Amino acid sequence: MVQKKQEDSGEQVTKAEQVNPEKVQKVKKVKKEKVVKSKTTGSGKKMFKIDRSKLKLGWIKTDWVKKQFKNRDWKNIGGSSFQQIKKANPVKSVGVKLFLIFFAGIMIFVVSLGLLSYSKAKGTIEKNASRANQETIDQTKQKMDIILERFVDTSTQIFFDPEMQSLLQKMSDTNLTAYDTFVNSSSINKQLSNVAFTNKSMEAIYLVPTDDTKSIMGTGSNSSSMGSIRQEAWYSELIEAGGYRWLPTEVKEGGSTPTFKIARSMKNLQGTTQSYVLVIELKLEVLEEQLKSLDLGQGAILQLIAPDNKVVASSISDRTGQETELAFVKELTEPAGSTNTEYKVDGKSTEMLAVYSTMDTSNWKLVGMIPTSVLVQDAKGILTLTLWMALIDAGIAVLIGIWMVRMIARPLGKLKDLMQEGAKGNLKVRTPYSSQDEIGQLSTAFNLMMEQITKLVEQTNRSAQEVLDTASELSSASKKTAVSASEIAVATEEIAGGAGSLATEAERGNELTDNISRQMQSVIAANEQMGDSARHVEKSSQTGTQHLNQLMTKTQKTEEMIGALVNKVDSLKESTSSVLKVLEVLQNITKQTNILSLNATIEAARAGAAGRGFMVVADEVRQLAAQSRQSIEMVGEITDKIMTEMNETVDALSAAYPLFKEQMDAVKDTNVIFASVQEQMGAFVERLGMVTGSIGDLNKSQGTLSEAMSNVSAVAEESSATSQEVASLSSEQQNISNQLVNLSGKLENVSTELKETLSRFTV
């Protein structure tokens, strides 16, 4: 149907194109002729001249075009929106994109919310179930501990029974006859039978002597088979460590009831070394009843596992006595807890929630497992509800999406078809939508746009005629401009020739002034070098004068220091003479001390034995006097040497003093010479400064002259270049005028073509 309408639309355009545009335009002009003439007569503008003989044919064709547009089904223009989507590329359709975005947004939100709720509920149920199962397992473990503790107490009672102790004492007698041994064994068996009879949970009780030569006593019928018990690993460990030990379940041959054992090491309280191992076989029903009373849920699996990973009791009968298939039990380190694991049921791996607790009496682990699917089966209602809500939301999203497509895509499709009609030249198309939303606003904007385009075409039609008239006037003016441009070009060429000659003469003058300027620069440079040399000599004279003044000051200080040194040396000579006098006095005192010591020695010799001590003192005094004399002689020699050197120093200073006097006179003469040189160089620098100022003034005048010649040369060159440029521009102006004439003709042709083009639009 859409295709048919498009074909009809194509036929309409074809027929419209067969109408002569000029005639249609002329018909419209006739309708407005009076108004146009009244507006344009005053301004003197040219008007169209209508061929009234052709008005009839034009009106007939115009009426046919109007009839075609009137019979057009504007309400269904563009067809159905879904047919348009089907016809076009669905991916590029705005309606399809909106539908997919809306549908995907709703579905993602609903499904995500449902799955999140299901996952949260599943996790909560698993945590609660794990906590509840853990409490149940702990309670069952405590009950089993109480039962096993009761059997441990029973073994203790058997051990401490006085009659049993008496019988064991008799059995330890090595002189016991075979008959007495038999009687005592029978009594022990009877005692054990009484204990087993009072407790239905006991299958048998055995008393195993540690002495291999003695037979095993017990109540069961398998006493002979207990002989191999002494070869078990736990047997020797139990004898060494003492206490008791729980033994896992063993499956007996012949369909006998499976049992588990408690073994206890016993010693005679009377102090004998004879010891026994008490073995009590217990029926497995004791543990299985507890497991049966434990209900974790449908599909739950319960196992009681020994530390060696053997199953003591299980809710599955064929697992008892075998090694457990639960691999995670080997990795458990905590006494109680829960974990997630997988368990194969009928060859299929099932996710299980396992909880466990370790018994205090036997160190066995009570493990309970339940399928996770059983725990979370209540949460499947949330998943089912989520799926149903997703389907319902999908339906609602489809309906809303269809509504959005009809509300948005359909008006846009019709608007697209109207735009195509407008592109073909029909400017009368309008959209009927007038809602307050963006589509209505777009329709209003489209209608306003078509109205503005219609006005623009009408205005362009009028402007095209005015351009055509202006083009004629422009062509005439261009021809006159071309003639004037050729005359200006000839005059400009003559001006350019004179400006060229002036530029050549100015260039020669500029070269001469440049040569003079370079020579002046050389003179200025030489003058500046002489000034620098003179200032350098003056500065050197000042520096020499300063140095000579400093040398004079230092020479005077040196002369004063030499005089003071001579005075000091004279004073030192007098002090040295005083020391020599003191040494002479000390020498005399030493001689007198030596004489006194000799006198003391003589007097001590006269005194005999009573003066021996005094004689020793006199000897010591004499030795000290001799040493003092030697020291004084040495000091005298050193003092004489100092006197000799001081005399030599005084002679040297006396000889150097006239030399310093002569040096002082020479420095003063040199200072006078430097002062004279400095004064003359100062006068020379002043005269050289005056010469430099004169040369600077001359250089400025030369620079001004050079600049003036350069300006003259530049102006001449610029004038010549301007003249040439004006001549060139005049030539170009002439060419442009010629081109303007051609362009005026083209403008006239374009205006005509524009009128013909605008006549194709229906307004």
Q: What is the sign, positive or negative, of the torsion defined by CA atoms of 194, 200, 201, 203?
A: positive
pLDDT score of 39: 39
pLDDT digits (tens, 9 = 90+) for 703-759: 787 777 777 777 777 777 777 777 777 777 777 777 777 777 777 777 777 777 766
Please provide the DSSP assignment of 654-706 as one string.
HHHHHHHHHHHHHHHHHHHHHHHHHHHHHHHHHHHHHHHHHHHHHHHHHHHHH
Q: Copy the structure tokens of residue 629.
A: 């004399």
pLDDT score of 68: 43
pLDDT score of 740: 76
Q: What type of residue sits at position 65?
A: V
Q: Which residue has the tokens 């191999």?
A: 228
pLDDT score of 645: 80
State the DSSP code for 222: -
Question: 81 near 98, Cβ under 8 Å?
Answer: no
pLDDT score of 376: 64
What is the chain's length?
Answer: 763
Cα 138 to chain centroid distance, Å, stands at 52
Question: 584 near 635, Cβ under 8 Å?
Answer: no
When pLDDT is cut at 50, 70 and 90, the band that residue 79 belongs to is very low
Q: Is the pTM of this model over 0.85?
A: no
Check pLDDT > 80 for residue 439: no
pLDDT digits (tens, 9 = 90+) for 327-345: 777 777 788 887 777 776 6
CATH topology of domain 196-376: Beta-Lactamase (3.30.450)
Whole-angstrom distance, CA of residue 371 vs CA of residue 205: 41
Within 13 Å of residue 294, how many CA atoms lie on the same side as its CB? 33
Q: Which helix (H) or strand (E) holds 13?
A: helix 2-18
Domain edges within the chain: 1-72, 196-376, 455-758
pLDDT digits (tens, 9 = 90+) for 471-488: 777 777 777 776 777 777
Q: Considering only CA atoms, which of 327, 324, 297 is closest in space to residue 313?
A: 324
Poorest-pLDDT segment among 112-116, 122-126, 254-258, 688-692: 254-258
Mean pLDDT of the chain: 72
Q: Copy the structure tokens of residue 534.
A: 């003179």
Rg, Å, the chain Cα set: 71
Cα 306 to chain centroid distance, Å, stands at 55
| Max intra-chain CA distance, the chain | 199
455-758 CATH: 1.10.287.950
pLDDT score of 221: 64
When pLDDT is cut at 50, 70 and 90, the band that residue 347 belongs to is low
When pLDDT is cut at 50, 70 and 90, the band that residue 75 belongs to is very low
pLDDT score of 327: 72
Check pLDDT > 80 for residue 355: yes
Q: What type of residue sits at position 221?
A: S
